[in-house]
Structure 1
Amino acid sequence: MIKHLLRGIGIFSGALILSLGLFMVAFLGLAGYAGYLTHQDMGAAAVPIRLLSQGLTTDAGGYTLAPECQDLLSEYSAWAILINDEGEIIWSQNKPEDIPDHYTLSDVASFTHWYLGDYPVTVWNRADGLLVAGSPPGMQWKYNLTISIAIMELLKRGIPTFFFTLLISVILLVILILHYGQKKRDRARSGWIDGISHDIRTPLAIIMGKAEALSTDSTLCGPVAQDANAILTASQNVRDLISDLNLTMRLDYAMEPLGLESVAPAPLLRALGAEVLNSGLASSLEINIAAEAEKLILRADPSLLRRALLNLIQNALRHGSENTLTLGLTTRRRQVIFTVTNAWPGLTPSQLAQLGTAPPTRGKSPDGLAPHGTGLTLVRRIAAVHKGRLAFTSPEAGRLQAELWLPSRRWYHPFP
């Protein structure tokens, strides 16, 4: 538990550091791009103060602003003033009415770095005074540095987008890393189970062959032949267990492709019943198929469906008190229901609830329910991949009924 917790904290911390680092890189890149636009006069909001100063000349008649500079002021909706050393305005162009005509040293120091009133301004020092050019309010953001409002809008829209994009990218990267790790563990688990299964099958085949040969040897006495038959039966159970374990694992990790085909459930159930009787597993077997279920066609994997039904039948015969079975097929709420019913004296509601959740795998449950191994687990997996479910009911006292529900919606096609 602590190991998984520390691992989760480490992954989260790494993802957080990575996301912050990518965010800083994106921010610096965006700021650099904004600076490039500013140096290229793209989105510039202030009149070029150097050009304005060069265009302002003086002669005997006073100051004259070159026509091209007057056009610049009009283009930028700007105004300009020239302040002498005494703080008086000695020349102006388009000066707003709320701009003062006299300035102190502190006023000059203030608007040189910030604003003049609500107007963002730029200044240029000349021999005859301080040239001030102002832009309309709202055209520039001016605190320590001057950036076009258009550039600021780009930053305002771009930074959150970059941040959330990078955050989502980091989250997806973490998910991919975890998914890769999970797939790697799944492959290792699959390889381990396949290897163990192969190692068990080889000696198991030898045991089964020897046991079968001994059971059919007419020279052996009865008890020895019976022991050989018991060994053969136990070996077959181990073989089936290994097969169930492998198939359960493959279904759990979506490694078993579904071969969906059109399956007629009524003939399938009859064939399974005949197979069970011919094999001698059950001394008595009854099959009840509802009339509305006789002509149904299901879309299912026939081998997996047959495997699930056989597991239910074998589980009922192994754990039931009698060697008799009742197989059924019916429909309800657009669902096809396979049923396997057997005698189970003394079945309590708590035992029935235990069967309905998960079969005990080790020892006995608190209700005294015997273990069922991987058989019912495999049936649940097969039902799940077919979008169905496994349920247990008690139709009458002392009887247990396993129900395999499969959805018939889209697959309900009666024969003509």
Structure 2
Amino acid sequence: MKLAKRFFKKYLLSTLIILILFFVLNIILICGTLLMAWNNSTDPDIPVQTISKNITLNVDGTISSTDYIENTLKNKSAWAMILNEQGNVIWEKFLPEELPRTYSNLQIAKFSRWYLQEYPVFIQEHSAGLLVIGCEPNSITKYNFSIDINYIHSLIVGIFLMICFNILLIFILFWRNTHKIEKSIVPIIDGIDSIAQGKPITLSETGELSSINAELNKAGKHLLQKEQARAEWINGVSHDVRTPLSIILGYASEIEKNEDASQPVQLQASIIRKQSEKLRSLIADLNLTSRLEYSMQPLIKTSFSPVEIARQVIIGFMNGPIDNKYSFDFHSSSDMIPVLIKGDTELFSRMLSNLIQNCINHNPHGCEITVEILKENDTCIISVIDNGDGMTSTQIEKMNSGIFPNNMYNSNGESVHGFGLKLVYQILTAHNGNIKYENILPHGLKVILEIPIEHIDPYEEKIS
């Protein structure tokens, strides 16, 4: 559910960013278009003041101009003239023949803002009179606007509000569509997550995605039935094998202890007993790992001392039929004595037994097995160490990633690390712990278990 919400938040945020980029891009395009149109157009900016400065009224009343005037007017395809107070042309440059040389005050008032006939003109006051500069017909368009200032202010505010309203409306529509999609897809994502965890699902088979929901319901039901059948089959096989195995163990033990039997027969009976005990342990592990995997094993959690449980497990191995080539050592820090952890004591003992048995099974030539228990902040650190053959780097990497082999034996018929350690991983996960595997120098394996410590008063635990 959290992943789905995070996905749709990112989707909504990316939509908002795209919307902002869209408006920024449009503004850039508008500015670029205006700039390109300006560059492609003929420059209407006639340098009226500069032209005026290059026209001089002499002392004798004559008017002279520099070469700049002629060059500028030619480049602009323009003409110029100066009118005196009576409206007569007293100076001209490239003035078209069809234009009159005398103008009334009314004519001057008309073309001062607009056109002189079809020629757009610019007006500039000069010491000699009124300077008039005209351009080619249809080269410049002149408009004269008179707009109330309040109208301009209202127009600017209205355009701004309209843009903001459109942005808000688009964002609301995007959010609405995103929310609608989220309501349809989140149950599907949750359903897939439930299927992955082996939980039953019941999705509503209505709406636009009803066909997908129906298929997920069908797939979830099928997988659940399949896994349940598998668990029941493992439980049934374990139960059916247990009785004949007990008979085999009983007869093998009797033959092994029978003094009338020959030594080779007793040795064969001993081998049968040991392998039968290993098979019984494997069946128990298989049944337990199946029950843990499908949440069929209830955890009976109590507060207990990991130091005491570890001692009991080690003593059990030392008092059992263990070969002398295996030795045991146990260390615990003094601050671990009053520390308690909460969990299932039976499963915790089984976890430590599996780790120690793993050291024995994979080091047939013998090894030293050390169990260490330390306290680090609010965590109980349990290390099971042996100086045997260890694991390959590939096995270490897979184990630390929670990947275990499907087969208990390799192609040479030798047992491999994995099945018992998978049970250790499952038990530790049920106790909210972590596990780490690492090789030690010069040779050997170290398995580190991290389990959270429960903060309670041990005296209160005894009273309750």
Give TM class, smaller chain. Answer: 0.5 to 0.7
Amino acid corresponding to residue 298 of structure 1 in structure 2? I
TM-superposition CA deviations, 1:275-312 (whole Å, max 9, x none): 11111426421101122222111110111111111000
The question of whether the paired residues in 1 share the 8 Å contact of 2:367 and 2:388 is answered with no
How far 1:221 sits from its partner (Å)? Answer: 2.0
Relative distance call for 1:186 and 1:348 in structure 2 (3 A) is closer
Give the equivalent residue in structure 2 for 1:182.
Answer: 223
In the alignment, structure 1 residue 318 sits paired with structure 2 residue 341: no
TM-superposition CA deviations, 1:173-214 (whole Å, max 9, x none): 554443322221122112211222223223212211110110
The question of whether the paired residues in 2 share the 8 Å contact of 1:296 and 1:414 is answered with no
Amino acid corresponding to residue 317 of structure 1 in structure 2? I
Relative distance call for 1:412 and 1:170 in structure 2 (3 A) is farther
Partners of 1:330 and 1:247 in 2: CA distance? 28
Alignment of 1:17-416 (within 5 A): 166-167=207-208, 174-281=215-322, 283=324, 284-320=327-363, 321-345=365-389, 348-357=392-401, 358-360=403-405, 361=407, 363-364=409-410, 371-408=416-453, 411-413=454-456, 415=458
The question of whether the paired residues in 1 share the 8 Å contact of 2:331 and 2:372 is answered with yes
Relative distance call for 1:174 and 1:406 in structure 2 (3 A) is farther
Amino acid corresponding to residue 336 of structure 1 in structure 2? C
Relative distance call for 1:347 and 1:258 in structure 2 (3 A) is closer
The alignment covers a number of residue pairs equal to 255
Counterpart secondary structure, 1:259 = coil
From the two aligned structures, give the one with the greater strand fraction: 1
The question of whether the paired residues in 2 share the 8 Å contact of 1:282 and 1:317 is answered with no
The question of whether the paired residues in 1 share the 8 Å contact of 2:302 and 2:345 is answered with yes
Bigger drift between 369-378 and 240-249 goes to 369-378
TM-score with structure 2 setting the length: 0.50
The question of whether the paired residues in 1 share the 8 Å contact of 2:408 and 2:419 is answered with no
Counterpart secondary structure, 2:281 = helix
Unaligned runs of 5+ in 1: 1-155
TM-score with structure 1 setting the length: 0.55
Counterpart secondary structure, 1:344 = coil
Flag the structure with more relative contact order, 1 or 2, with Cα contacts below 8 A and sequence separation at least 6.
1
Amino acid corresponding to residue 328 of structure 1 in structure 2? E
How far 1:399 sits from its partner (Å)? Answer: 2.1
Relative distance call for 1:208 and 1:365 in structure 2 (3 A) is closer
How far 1:343 sits from its partner (Å)? Answer: 1.3
Give the equivalent residue in structure 2 for 1:133.
Answer: none
Amino acid corresponding to residue 360 of structure 2 in structure 1? L
Counterpart secondary structure, 1:166 = coil
- Superposition CA RMSD, Å: 3.1
Partners of 2:219 and 2:333 in 1: CA distance? 49
Partners of 2:335 and 2:258 in 1: CA distance? 50
Give the equivalent residue in structure 2 for 1:74.
Answer: none
Q: Which has the larger radius of gyration?
A: 2
Bigger drift between 279-288 and 374-383 goes to 279-288
Partners of 1:333 and 1:166 in 2: CA distance? 52
Amino acid corresponding to residue 394 of structure 1 in structure 2? N
Identity of aligned residues (%): 29
The question of whether the paired residues in 2 share the 8 Å contact of 1:388 and 1:406 is answered with yes
Amino acid corresponding to residue 215 of structure 1 in structure 2? E
Relative distance call for 1:282 and 1:407 in structure 2 (3 A) is farther
Relative distance call for 1:172 and 1:291 in structure 2 (3 A) is farther
Partners of 2:303 and 2:390 in 1: CA distance? 40
Counterpart secondary structure, 2:207 = helix
The question of whether the paired residues in 2 share the 8 Å contact of 1:272 and 1:310 is answered with yes
Counterpart secondary structure, 1:178 = helix
How far 1:369 sits from its partner (Å)? Answer: 9.3
The question of whether the paired residues in 1 share the 8 Å contact of 2:303 and 2:343 is answered with yes
Relative distance call for 1:346 and 1:373 in structure 2 (3 A) is closer
TM-superposition CA deviations, 1:250-277 (whole Å, max 9, x none): 1111111111111110111111111111
Partners of 2:208 and 2:356 in 1: CA distance? 53
The question of whether the paired residues in 1 share the 8 Å contact of 2:433 and 2:450 is answered with yes
Partners of 1:216 and 1:260 in 2: CA distance? 41
